[in-house]
Amino acid sequence: MVREGKPTSTRRSRYVPSFHSARNEYKYRRFCMKTSRAVTLQFALNMPNYKPIPHLPADFLRKLNADPMMADHESAIYSSEFQDVRLAIVDHEDERGPDDRSRVKLPDGMSLDHIPNAMNSTFAHIHLAAICADPHYLCEMIRLGADMDLEESAGNTPLMLAMQNLLAYSTFARCRLSFPGASASGGTTPPIIKRFAFIARTLIEQHADVNLGAANGMTPLHCACGAQDWELIALLLKHGAKVSIADSKLAAPIDMLPSARDKSRFIALVKSLSDGKRPAQPCPCWSGKMLADCHANHQPYPADFYCVCGSKKSYGKCCSRRNMFFFEKWNKEKRYLNQMSLRFAGPSAISEASGGKNVLKTTGDMVDAMHISLPREFLDANAMSEEDAWHFLQRIGVELVSRGLIDFAYAYAMKEVQFLPRPQGRSFSKNACLVAQERWNAAIDKHISSSGLSVERKEEIERIAKIGHSNGALYRKCEGTDCSKLEGRDIEKLDCCSKCRMSVYCSRACQASAWKSHRAICGQISQREQALPCQIAIDAFLLSNGELIEVKNSACPGIEEYIKIRLSSV
């Protein structure tokens, strides 16, 4: 553990304190007064003298750095300029996304005369990665959510830019012309050509559109044939590249091959590889897994990546400590890793012992449920679509009612309002919770009025199904040990704990009887207001069905005790 005020790196002067905590604000100001303006600025921006942390897995980076093609290349992702870009993309409050073009310019002295109209184009970062033959840059931009089929202003996609550069540099190499990174002596492929091939291969395997060509009609397959790169030719054909383009003024890709033998080889490849089924996509998180086995389902946001709140701290040292957890899942329609944020409170996660640590876990169904806990106008852009929400609520509603876990009135309201209320613990605006309460209880009243129920049954439904202003139970039960007094039935109003103002009791004696268990959660961020039995049953069902996914490697304060108490009352 790094102690407050101590250096976090051996490369930092031992006389320089750490200012990563708001509690050190006073120390920070005094330090600024005593140091030079340059040093003050460096630490005020939280930019220490070591390289920024790329949003790429450490193992992936090590393998990429060790590749011989990187021997003469330093990636842009380690620059201070890209660090600013990275932080802006990660910050959810910053409107500039990964496809922003406002701050992208070609490196000084770079020529793109071999690509029609490219010199006057405007580029996004993913285009620049393809142009500069920077594999790290490309992979991080994909990880950050860049559009892999985004066209620059001249109409070239990243794949097309990489392929046109590959063709030009391969032609130069064959002609033994002098260019940066090439060797006139021959014998080995210049590293820059290998990097262009890596970028093209990566984009193809990530299911970029292999048939989006340049304005002049040239396609990636034309370029691969012109460069005589048989590995890329085969890969493009596997991924559905067309061997002829309708209405194109250019010759077919096969005509870019120099000899009859090469053309025969191409025809044989077309017959053996063009089966119409595209190979599975690797996960764009670069975990080494296939997408279907990784981010096709919810995965936790990496703890060592920068936090999305804009603090410039790592997520593991920022919002995750406040029980705000982030998940990522591949968006099939928009084709990027979509981030979702959740604040966990019991019983929405479980703690397991794993490798000597307490590991907090949840399920994909729980993540989905928490994203539709309010009316749609209060949900963020990452929420489940209306159609998906309908199918989700229909599926779990039928299952829960058939198992006798929830009352039919509760399932009716779920279908009527199309959200799944849960105690919010003051995590959302009061207005959002009040609107949710009004709509939900109106749906319960609608069910009661149309069912012809007895007075006793109506009162029972109201007690077990109506929600309060915090979206938990409207009629709360005393939380004292062995006390079953119900608000509105046995006592007019229960008193709340003066500290947390969430737990309720009928008397001081009941409060004292529950203090031993209550003190573990009192005032904790993980605490929530009293839930309805139906809400507790739904959470227990969602946690017991589906594959568990890890939230973090240490349980939240008080959450295990909260879960134990609530689940025991189901």
**pLDDT tens digits along 62-115:** 999 999 999 888 899 998 889 999 999 998 777 778 888 877 777 766 667 677
Write out pLDDT tens, residues 508-566.
999 999 998 888 888 776 678 898 999 989 988 888 876 776 665 443 334 344 344 44
Spatial contact of 529 and 425, defined as CB atoms under 8 Å apart: yes
Residues 429 and 513 in one domain: yes
Q: Please indicate whether residue 182 or residue 403 has the higher confidence score (pLDDT).
A: 403
Which of 50, 71, 89 is the C-terminal boundary of a domain?
50
At what angle are helices 260-273 and 230-238 packed, to 10 degrees? 30
Candidate from 171-180, 267-276, 371-380, 401-410 with smallest mean pLDDT = 171-180
Residue of 563, 567, 489 lying closest to 528 (CA atoms): 563
* Range of the structural domain that residue 167 is part of: 58-273
* pLDDT value at residue 322: 65
417 in the same domain as 358: yes
352, β-bridge pairs: 359
- Judge if 112 and 250 occupy the same domain: yes
Tell which of 17, 33, 50 closes a domain: 50
Token pair belonging to 321: 């400590």
437 & 486 share domain: yes
| Percent of all residues in the chain with a pLDDT value above 90, rounded to a whole number | 44
- 356 and 242, same domain (yes or no): no
Residue the block writes with tokens 């029980």 = 323
Judgement on whether residues 94 and 173 belong to the same structural domain of the protein: yes
Neighbours of 117 (CB within 10 A): 15
Segment among 55-59, 328-332, 422-426 with least mean pLDDT: 422-426
DSSP string, 408-428: HHHHHHHHHH-------TT-S
CATH code for the domain of 221: 1.25.40.20
Q: Is 552 a member of any domain?
A: yes
pLDDT at residue 419 tops 70: yes
User: What pLDDT sits at residue 426?
Assistant: 66
My answer on whether 129 and 150 are in the same domain is: yes
Type of residue found at 20: H
pLDDT of residue 40: 29
User: What is the reported pLDDT for 346?
Assistant: 46
Q: In the structure, what pLDDT confidence band is assigned to residue 367 with cuts at 50, 70 and 90?
A: confident
Q: Is residue 512 part of a domain?
A: yes
Question: In what order do the strands lie in the sheet containing 299-300?
Answer: 299-300, 324-331, 336-343
Looking at the structure, tell me whether residues 439 and 560 fall in a common domain.
yes
311 in a domain, yes or no? no
How many other C-beta atoms can be found within 10 angstroms of the C-beta atom of residue 496?
A: 16
pLDDT score of 420: 93
Do 246 and 140 reside in the same domain of the chain? yes
Backbone angles phi, psi at 463, to 5 degrees: -70, -35
Contacts 24+ apart (CB under 8 A), 227-231: 227/163, 227/166, 227/167, 227/170, 227/171, 228/170, 228/257, 228/258, 228/262, 229/166, 229/170, 229/197, 230/265, 231/197, 231/201
Shared-domain flag, residues 20 and 79 = no
- The pLDDT tens digits of the residues spanning 3-60 come to 333 333 333 332 233 333 333 433 333 333 333 233 223 333 333 344 688 999 999 9
Of the residues 230, 255, 273, which one is the last residue of a structural domain? 273
Q: How far is C-alpha 356 from the chain's CA centre?
A: 27
- How many folded domains does the chain comprise? 3
Q: Reduced to 3 states, what is the DSSP secondary structure of residue 319?
A: helix
Q: Which of 323, 260, 269, 284 shows the shortest CA–CA distance to 203? A: 284
98 burial type by CB count under 10 A (0-12 exposed, 13-18 middle, 19+ buried): buried
Residues 265 and 152 reside in one and the same domain: yes
pTM: 0.66
* Average pLDDT of the chain, as a whole number: 80
Q: Which of 426, 431, 432 is nearest to 372 (CA)?
A: 432
Residue 554 forms part of a structural domain: yes
Q: Determine the Cα–Cα distance for residues 279 and 301; give it in Å rounded to an integer.
A: 27
Region label for 125, one of left (φ > 0), alpha (ψ between -120 and 50) or beta (otherwise): alpha
Let me know whether 251 and 179 are in one domain: yes
